Each structure stands twice: as structure tokens, then as C-alpha cells.
Amino acid sequence: MTKIKKHKLLFEDEIEGEVYGVSSGFSDYRLAWEMNAAFSIQFEKKEKPLFLEDKKSKKQVPFFFYQYANEEDFVQFTLIKNKQNNSLIKYDNALMDYFLVIQENYILTPEEIIRQLRSINGVVAVFEFNCNEFDFITYLEK
């Protein structure tokens, strides 16, 4: 009689989505308005903030954000300001003013997104990031 082999499958929780760093002098509502026009979406400012732990002070800090979810395509856009309440979401990316998180995106390529973001008059620079570097994405509403 042969011994039965057991195989364990280990899955890492992989975050689905794309993250773009946006450098802009615009206020958050103005950038959201410009992105609404560029992407034909309708951002809404969420009443309930996202509470994240500040890496330096270890305190929970509220971060307000704008979000848009398309019911038909299941795509979700989230625009969040990097620096709020004297705290940063990502200290190693302190020069980024905003992060745009796009989840379940099956309609736009990264090149199209970057091109459309760069076409906005007040946007200085756009950078693509690995979404697994941003742990706050798992806390965003779906």
C-alpha cells in the first residue's frame, strides 16, 4: 500500500487594482472635478473617513477621500490626498500629492489612464505604483 501524499496550497492575498501617484497643486475637490471631466465619472466625497495608522506617531488618523463606482462595469475610482491632518499615507512617497486607486478596471489600459491624467491642466506629474505597497486599499468600500 502506497502512502498518500498531501499537498498544501498557500495563497497570498493579492490586492487587485492599480495605483497612480498624482502631483498637483489643485485642492482635492478641484482635482476630483477635473478627473470627472477627463474620465467621464462622478466622484463623491465620502462622509466617513478612512482611519489609517500614522507610521510615525502610531495613532489612527482620519483620511477623507473621493470615490466613484460604476455599477455596470464594476470599476471603482478612489482619489485620496496623501497628506492630511499632518500625516502621510506613504512617507516614502511624500512628494506625491494624491493617490488614485482604480479597482476592477477592465476598460482602461494603464497607458490611457496616465495619458488622461497628464492631460489635466493642473497635473504636474503622474507615476504608476505597485498596488501591493498600499495596505489601505483593502479597507476601501466596495
Domain of 132, CATH number, reads 3.30.310
Q: Is the pLDDT of residue 7 over 80?
A: no
30, part of any domain: yes
Q: Give tens-digit pLDDT for 114-132.
A: 999 999 999 999 999 998 8
* HSE, side-chain direction, 13 A CA sphere, residue 38: 20
In this prediction, residue 90 carries a pLDDT of 85
d(CA 115, CA 128): 12
Number of domains in the chain: 1
Q: Give tens-digit pLDDT for 15-41.
A: 568 999 999 999 999 999 999 999 999
Q: Of 6-10, 57-61, 81-85, 94-98, which gets the smallest average pLDDT?
A: 6-10
Q: What sign has the CA pseudo-torsion 120, 122, 127, 132?
A: negative
114, part of any domain: yes
44, part of any domain: yes
Query: What predicted TM-score, i.e. pTM, was given to this entire model?
Result: 0.84
Closest-CA residue to 117 (of 129, 105, 100, 132): 100
